[in-house]
Chain A
Amino acid sequence: MASPRWFYQISGRWLPWLSLLTFVSIIIGVIWGLGFAPQDAKQGNSFRIIYIHVPASFLALVGYYIMAISGAIAIIWKIKLADVVMKSAAPIGASLTFIALLTGAVWGKPTWGTYWIWDARITSMLILFFLYLGVIVLQKAYSAQGLSNKAAALLALVGTINIPIIYKSVDWWYTLHQPATIKFTEAPSMHPDMFQPLLIMIIGFYLFYVTALIVSMRAEIIFRERNTSWVKELALNLKDKRPI
């Protein structure tokens, strides 16, 4: 159980279904958000950007916890698979953070009149992006793989302090960024016609995250185990077919 080989085999069975579900939910969410959700009374059509912005920001934060926790598990219990999770989660999280920043900037121009402002929420989100980049760089920093992973996991753990700061920044400081539309403790302050496509997109982004993580982990597992007999056997079995 929980060996890279076991994970490779079982994830191969889930992957087609997960990919299909991801694709379908994001397509539905995009069409709904772009064409069918009513426009916002104040913001007009630029509001449609939140259907990308909110789910991407959400998963950027969740993904950071996933990366940091698996990094800790990898150091403390020396579980190989946790190390693979940490390594694969970093570039996905960095990309989602980049998407959150980019869509926020593009939305800010018609709404606030500026692409960028050094606001508490936006600045802490930029720090998150640099933390992700730091973890990616550290993973490649030392020639001894074990040392690299330890340094990266340590940075990831220290950086978790930033997550509650991002989450609470809109309440703690006076900022331009609007407070959260969805809270875990209250009903959403959004009209159902606008909220339903957002919910679909959040589910879609969650599915995307899991699917992308699995795809990336499978490549990493094959790379790390390239000299083992099971990977050689797998490669030679795929020789006659097209390797995917």
Chain B
Amino acid sequence: MMFQFENFSDFIYMAGHGQYVWTAYSVSLIIMAFIFVMPLFRKKNIIQKIIKKNH
């Protein structure tokens, strides 16, 4: 197993397919991060409301 590209700019360009590959990966990973983080914020908000109410 070895790195398939000559250098970093080759890796970004991907022989012309870079724009498609990088768009697919970045948008997908951002959506996934979002799905994961949103409920954490939601839970935090609910707990803070409970704390306020019981003060």
Instruction: Please tell me if the beta carbons of B31 and A95 are within 8 angstroms of each other in the complex.
Output: yes
* B interface bracket (residues with beta carbon within 8 Å of A): 35 or more
Q: Which of A185-229 contact B (CB under 8 A)?
A: 193, 208, 211-212, 215-216, 218-220, 222-223, 226
Instruction: Please tell me if the beta carbons of B17 and A46 are within 8 angstroms of each other in the complex.
Output: yes
Q: Give the shortest distance, in Å, between A4 (CB) and chain B (any CB).
A: 13
Given contacts A99-B31, A231-B50, contact A193 B24 (CB under 8 A): no
Q: Which residues of A contact B15 (CB under 8 A)?
A: 39, 44-45
Given contacts A91-B35, A219-B39, contact A243 B1 (CB under 8 A): no
Instruction: Please tell me if the beta carbons of A36 and B44 are within 8 angstroms of each other in the complex.
Output: no
Complex Cα gap A44–B44 (Å):
45
Of B39, B46, B47, B51, the contact of A216 (CB 8 Å cutoff): B39
Instruction: Please tell me if the beta carbons of A218 and B28 are within 8 angstroms of each other in the complex.
Output: no
* A interface bracket (residues with beta carbon within 8 Å of B): 35 or more
Given contacts A35-B11, A45-B15, A99-B28, contact A218 B39 (CB under 8 A): yes
Of B3, B4, B51, the contact of A239 (CB 8 Å cutoff): B51
Q: Which of B22-55 contact A (CB under 8 A)?
A: 23-25, 27-29, 31-32, 34-36, 38-40, 42-44, 46-51, 54
Whether a CB of chain B sits under 8 angstroms from the CB of A117 is no
Instruction: Please tell me if the beta carbons of B50 and A235 are within 8 angstroms of each other in the complex.
Output: yes
Q: Give the shortest distance, in Å, between A94 (CB) and chain B (any CB).
A: 10
Instruction: Please tell me if the beta carbons of A36 and B51 are within 8 angstroms of each other in the complex.
Output: no
- Closest partner residue, chain B, to A221 (CB atom): B43
Q: Which residues of A contact B51 (CB under 8 A)?
A: 235-236, 238-239, 243
Complex Cα gap A106–B17 (Å):
10
Q: Can you report 14 A-B residue pairs in the complex whose CB atoms are below 8 A from each other?
A: A36-B1, A36-B4, A44-B14, A44-B16, A49-B21, A102-B24, A102-B28, A107-B20, A211-B36, A219-B40, A235-B54, A238-B47, A243-B43, A243-B47
